[in-house]
Structure 1
């Protein structure tokens, strides 16, 4: 069954739903629903890694439709006839599986003579469409589809004092975004990638269980320029720089923390996640970013090749070790990946608080929203105090106080205005304290 059925037993589809669809050359391909025609019981599908010119309408009950992942390549259950990418010791090439055995697939490389057909270990086979060129084309299409939401997302970030910094969608986006967070420039992405994978090799005992293929092959693949980063790499980067990460995405409210990594007290790395594997950097507007002051590579080398520590440094190392253990406990416990979390979030736009298990991120979001609101209140208060210290500026102060206390208590507001209109030459401590308290009390009534 390709999807859920409604009360009448008819199949029910939704826009954005991902499926496996047999294409026009009888190959199973990843596809997505872009329109649903309930009246004629048809869906318009687009093939994930092909031009929109191949989009087509299919009947709800078409035999060419299957649930996502049931027919396209899965390393746990490869099938004869599947379109895949296979590594021929030089590059990833489009291929077709001709035969299967327990640990390998016999493949035919597209546009190559049959004499080059060979048995390839499954660790050198992956789903079709992951090459750098195809990824860039597909990602551009995904971002274009995301654009209507993007402006809402950016406005929501701005209300929280945050701004989006876009990086290239070339497969390096995770490492570019982290480099921007750490160094203020995404040009250091190659260094960040290299040291991230160095760290994963150093901590192999921990990271290996999260890798479905041979670990050495996985690391070698992730070292390649343009090979996209996944959640294990993000966890490794948090550990490498001892910085937590907040992954933000679009939600019914505009923007919400989709996932948090590595809960230390250090300033977080803020990343935006579109889905389809693309990340961007998020920065605090009007504030200096917490960038590393040391040259690129210094902190990474210190983490990977530590010198003999002093007693004070050993104590600090013990603190970091305890934080690392807690970070990994939370990473282990989270059984939903970013892509699944994003899908669940978008499916639950009418219920924005229910898209993730647990209340931890809801509490974090509430704290962030409260902090943003407090920042606005503090700005109003600082402006009011500034104006109260100027001679002959009572009218401007009254305007600010009135604007910031639309629903304020009249008694507190009257007191604040009365104090502000007294002789401005009197600036003893008691007077300042009374004025601040009155203004603060009026703001608290909002």
Structure 2
């Protein structure tokens, strides 16, 4: 009986793994089609923020998480900036995948392809070690294996890897007092598109649109971080 039970568990595990892999592959195929559809869209957000001087981006891993008070103050500052530039946030789940969800929303007009985005970013990290290793203060293999896990937070290194992988200029409207606008550009190729994200207090990313072009949002299934 134990032998049969073990075999059943193994079969179930194999089936679940295969199903998960198929889901990611399905996401990849859909994402390719959506990329072609949205790649040439005019970016109204970029025009609204064209007068802002971007701060140079330095890739780094997450080292600081603000307390509730600091995060709340930062959130209010970000809301004021969004209102000033007539921008709208598509809010994504604060489940540890928010950076990848926000990038997915900008690329494919849906945050639901975040698994595909994460997989492509991890592939970029693995295949181009020399570009990113110097920014990672730990065993590099341990780092990208950690990033590969669903729910692991993205950081400024994964942002750079995403910019490189998707040939995209990633622009962050931030909640920071002295750093309003950060721009991440591909290192060795021309940017073919712009991705616009809000970045709140080192802990959460959302996807940005001009208010007039904002998509209709379904009610979120999960609570966002703090708010």
TM-score range, shorter chain: 0.5 to 0.7
Bigger radius of gyration, 1 or 2?
Answer: 1
Cα displacement (A) at 1:184: 0.8
Alignment-derived partner of residue 267 in structure 1 = 193
Change beyond 3 A, Cα 1:141–1:252: closer
Task: State the alpha-carbon separation in 2 of the partners of residues 214 and 258 from structure 1.
Answer: 27
Q: Secondary structure at the match of 2:137?
A: coil
| Residues 398-437 of structure 1 mapped to structure 2, 5 A cutoff | none
Cα displacement (A) at 1:197: 0.3
| TM-score scaled by length of structure 2 | 0.57
Change beyond 3 A, Cα 1:269–1:139: farther
Partners of 2:164 and 2:185 within 8 A in 1: no
Cα displacement (A) at 1:280: 1.3
Alignment of 1:166 onto 2:91: yes
Unmatched 5+ stretches in structure 1: 1-126, 290-446
Alignment of 1:186 onto 2:111: yes
From 112, 124, 129, the equivalent of 1:204 is 129
Unmatched 5+ stretches in structure 2: 1-61, 216-227
From 182, 199, 204, the equivalent of 1:258 is 182
Change beyond 3 A, Cα 1:228–1:252: closer
Structure number with higher helix proportion: 2
Task: State the alpha-carbon separation in 2 of the partners of residues 210 and 151 from structure 1.
Answer: 31
Alignment-derived partner of residue 72 in structure 2 = 144
Structure number with higher strand proportion: 1
Alignment-derived partner of residue 219 in structure 1 = 144
From 81, 94, 97, the equivalent of 1:153 is 81
Partners of 1:177 and 1:279 within 8 A in 2: yes
| Residues 77-88 of structure 1 mapped to structure 2, 5 A cutoff | none
Cα displacement (A) at 1:142: 5.4
Alignment of 1:281 onto 2:207: yes
Task: State the alpha-carbon separation in 2 of the partners of residues 180 and 171 from structure 1.
Answer: 16
Higher RCO (Cα < 8 Å, 6 or more apart): 2
Partners of 1:142 and 1:276 within 8 A in 2: no
Task: State the alpha-carbon separation in 2 of the partners of residues 283 and 228 from structure 1.
Answer: 23
Partners of 1:245 and 1:268 within 8 A in 2: yes
Task: State the alpha-carbon separation in 1 of the partners of residues 85 and 121 from structure 2.
Answer: 28
Change beyond 3 A, Cα 1:202–1:218: same
| TM-score scaled by length of structure 1 | 0.31
Task: State the alpha-carbon separation in 1 of the partners of residues 125 and 75 from structure 2.
Answer: 35
Alignment-derived partner of residue 167 in structure 2 = 242
Change beyond 3 A, Cα 1:140–1:251: closer
Cα displacement (A) at 1:287: 4.4
Alignment-derived partner of residue 12 in structure 2 = none
Where does structure 1 differ by over 2 angstroms across 4 or more consecutive aligned residues? 138-151, 250-253, 258-267, 284-289
Task: State the alpha-carbon separation in 2 of the partners of residues 252 and 141 from structure 1.
Answer: 15
Q: Secondary structure at the match of 1:258?
A: strand
Task: State the alpha-carbon separation in 1 of the partners of residues 177 and 125 from structure 2.
Answer: 36
Change beyond 3 A, Cα 1:207–1:285: same
Task: State the alpha-carbon separation in 2 of the partners of residues 251 and 217 from structure 1.
Answer: 30
Partners of 1:244 and 1:267 within 8 A in 2: yes
Change beyond 3 A, Cα 1:140–1:188: farther
Task: State the alpha-carbon separation in 2 of the partners of residues 196 and 236 from structure 1.
Answer: 6
Task: State the alpha-carbon separation in 1 of the partners of residues 77 and 214 from structure 2.
Answer: 28
Partners of 1:244 and 1:269 within 8 A in 2: yes
